[in-house]
Each structure stands twice: as structure tokens, then as C-alpha cells.
Structure 1
């Protein structure tokens, strides 16, 4: 199954830094990985009462979060929340500890690393935050739910794709995205795969893509978050082959990547 064409604003080969010379791929989740909280929760501070009514909070169905967030954005528009207010709320979200240091390191090693975001947030939140932080140019691809403002001023959110994975939310399986991206990039690179793949995340939906990683690859779960706890409970019998390196700060990830780069 393939993702819709509006999944991102740039194709990998259109990016000036997505070149065959890059040896490594680093994939990032967004909420509570690049940023230090959920962007969906952060934008609620733009509401007059800074919280959702109980009837809307209680309307969430397990596995259908994208559908729930569509209702939230309709409600925010009905409450008169403007694009400027949402933009401002997004830009004010703090980065996770040490993530800007990690991006600074990757900026200095762009010839080695290709970067992409794989997130169940949405394109508007992610692009606005990355642009505000001055790091949007580092990412060859953003895989996330399409979102844009319509003529009435409402932020319209759509699901990313459909899939057959029973472990993931109905609108996104990150393992499907990862496998398709790796296959597509290998073809574009003349048959050369990335030497290693790194996946940085925090949530339960970051476990599924971690199962697609090989023994030379590394999953970086945020220490104490669901991804970390779930990976600790898994065994090789469950299909987990990757190295597991928990992180508290982005500087922990820098230390690991430095070791890999120096292994020439």
C-alpha cells in the first residue's frame, strides 16, 4: 500500500542533501521526541478556556486518534481560534532536552546523515515548529498526516494512509512508511542501501517501525516512555533485532552517533 502524494512537500531526490554519499538514515518521531510534549495538547492553549469540553474529550475512540483530532480542530475553529494563534502556540513548544544539540551535530555532518520525520502529528504543526527552530532544511522528508487551513480559516486534518497492520492506529503504520522509504531510497541510490538506520522515538507507535530495523541498526527510545518500556519487554523471538539505546537527552544520541561515524 502506498501513502498519498500529499504526504510531504518534497521528494527525497529533490532535496540537495539527500545524496547517495550519505551513509546513515536517522528517522525521528515528533511529539515528545523532537518537542518535549504533544503538539496536539500544546495547541489547546490557544483556546479561550485552554481546555476541551468534557463531551469532546470523551468522544475519543481507541485507535482512532486522527479522527478525534479532526473534531478538535473543528471545535477550535468554532471557538474563533485563528491560524496566527495556532501558529504561535506551536512555535512556543519547547524542544526535548538536548535535541537542538543533536540537530547542531547533524548539521555539521550532513554529508553522513539523511534525516526524516515519521509522525502521527500533522504537517502544519511539524513544519511550523521546524521552521521556527531553524532546522527544517535538515529533513529530506516529513511523513505525517496532511493538514492545511481552508478558506474558512479551519485547519483541516486528513489521515496519512490506510494499512493492514493490526498493531497500529488506523491512519498510520510507521513500519509500512519505513519499509517503503528504505526501498525507494535504495532504488534512487543505485541499489545502495544505507549502512545503518537509526530510529528516535518515545511512543507505543514507535515500536512497530523498530521491528523493521536490522542488527546493525539502532532504536533510540526515550528513557521511561512507552517505547522504552515496551522494547524492554520484547525479546528476539518477537522480531526485535536492532540495538536498543535509551536516551534522556539528545546529547546521549550524539555520543552514540559519534562512535558510529568514527568506525571507518
Structure 2
């Protein structure tokens, strides 16, 4: 008996994306569409870098002065990035410079395979993105990767270019969550979205969340045992889940499927669809 390697198993999963159901008499039946909500983070999830760090490549000398870096305060990263962007504007960095950086940021391992799978099975998934980056950067990166139209909605910090050509950034909202940065609580965004869709008559069979950061842990606590959290292995979201499972057993409800490559997420979703037959 020949055992499959992890790589061969992943390849076989990807090759099996065409799903068919057969009745007892051998005739093929259509696979009934099932709606799942799939939520993506952006930085170090869809892309393999922190985009706020990446854009520093467009700054003079590809670095920030110490006077700017010393203004960072934990929990107020959005305000810090506002100062960073003003400095870069003062140095003559233009929209085209930022755009070029965002378009070149590489996708995380296996992410292109996952997007290919999702594009073939869009009828089963409602896909949204919740990110503490900014709208301009996310749209540039997703359009460059050819996957922008997969997303029903993108939640991120508002950004634009003012009359002087400066890249401006604002907070997404205000909230009372003690775990999250002052400008965004993803838990609040997710629960409000679920309520909104419910009022519109849409109820999801299951919720899937793909993330990496500490701010992705907070929304994952709103998920049920039938839902699935996909934390990137070894990143803060994964570490926080492991901590709460150890220190407060039973309080974290979602099923956990850690990933190194998004192909692992793809294979899991593949099996979910197969079980619908």
C-alpha cells in the first residue's frame, strides 16, 4: 500500500473540485445550492505580508524616521498610520506609488488555489472581507489578483486621496470592545452583518472564518460549534485560541482547522460540499 504525501493529497483535492451527485439508478442529480458565509481577513491571510509595512517601500529610503515610529501606541495603530501617510505625502509619495506597491504584494501560500475553487463554486458561498487595513489598498490588491468580484462586501477603514494628493485614512467605527483596537471591532461588524442578512431573509447554514491576527480572534468567538475557524498556524489568532482552550475549556465554540497553506482550507471546504450530496 502506497501512502499519499501531504502534497499529493492536496493536489487530489484540488483536482476533485467538480462535484456531482448520483441517484440510486445511476442518473446524475443536481447538487442543491447551499449558502455558507465565508469571511476573510486581508493582511497576512489573503496576502502574505502586512500591507501597512509593505507601503513603507514607497517612502524615501524605504524607511520611516524615528520621530514617526516613536509615536506608535498599542491599540491606536489606525492613528499611527494616519501620521505615517501624512509624512509620506509630505515626501511626495503619490497615489500611483501606493498602487504599485499594493498590486505587487504576494498572495499567501495556496491562496490562488482557494480562490480558483471559490470561483467555481460561487453559488454555495457568500464571501465577505473584514480588515483593519484600508479600502484603497485592499481593492488594488484584489483587482490585481483578479478576485475582487468574489466578494459581496468589504469592511475596512475608509481611505482616499485629498486635493493635495495625500493618502488619507480614517477609523472604521467606534465601539466598546476592550479586546480590539479603538477604530475597529470585527466581532461587532460580523454580528451586525449576520443580523442585517437575517432581516433580509438570508440565514447561513454555517460560517467559516479565515484569519491570522489577534483582531480575528474576537469575531471568531461569536461562532457556533457548527462553524469553522481557520487560523493561520503559529499566528496570534491561533495562539489565542489555544490559550482559551487550555485556560477556559468549552468556552470557545467553533471547530478549529489551522492552516499553513490555503490549499488546506480549500480541501476542507471541498469535503463540506461533497457531504451535501
Structure-2-length-normalised TM-score = 0.85
Residue 233 of structure 2: which of 220, 223, 242 is its match? 223
Match of 1:50 in 2: 62
Q: Deviations over 1:171-215 (max 9, x none)?
A: 000000000001111221x2x410000000000111000100001
Gaps of 5+ in 1: 1-20
Q: Give how far 1:263 is off.
A: 1.7
Query: Would you say 1:197 and 2:211 are equivalent positions?
Result: no
Q: Output aligned runs, 1:154-165, within 5 Å.
A: 154-165=166-177
Aligned residue among 118, 121, 126 for 1:109: 121
Residues 123-134 of structure 1 mapped to structure 2, 5 A cutoff: 123-134=135-146
In structure 2, C-alpha distance between the alignment counterparts of 1:170 and 1:80, rounded to whole Å: 29
Q: CA deviation at 1:238?
A: 7.0
Report whether the alignment pairs 1:212 with 2:238.
no
Secondary structure at 1:121 match in 2: coil
Bigger radius of gyration among the two: 2
Q: Does the alignment pair 1:37 with 2:63?
A: no
Match for 1:95 among 104, 107, 121?
Answer: 107
Which 5+ residue runs of structure 2 have no aligned equivalent?
A: 1-32
Equivalent residue number for residue 265 of structure 2: 253
CA deviation profile, 1:5-44 (whole Å, cap 9, x unmatched)? xxxxxxxxxxxxxxxx651011000000000000001010
Q: How does 1:222-241 map to 2 (within 5 A)?
A: 222-235=232-245, 237=249, 239-241=251-253
CA–CA distance in structure 2, aligned partners of residues 165 and 66 of structure 1: 16
1:88-131 deviation line (CA, Å, top 9, x unaligned): 01111000001011010000000000111100000000001001
- Taking only aligned residues, the RMSD between alpha carbons, in angstroms, comes to 1.1
4+ residue runs of structure 1 moved beyond 2 angstroms? 235-239
The offset of 1:261, in angstroms, is 1.0
1:120 is aligned, of 132, 152, 158, to 132
Given that 1:22 and 1:114 are in contact with CA atoms closer than 8 Å, whether structure 2 keeps it comes out as no
Report what 1:16 is aligned to: none
Looking at structure 2, the residues matched to 204 and 253 of structure 1 have their Cα atoms a distance apart, in angstroms, of 20
Please show how residues 168-179 of structure 1 align to structure 2 within 5 Å.
168-179=180-191
Task: Give the deviation of 1:239 after TM superposition.
Answer: 3.2
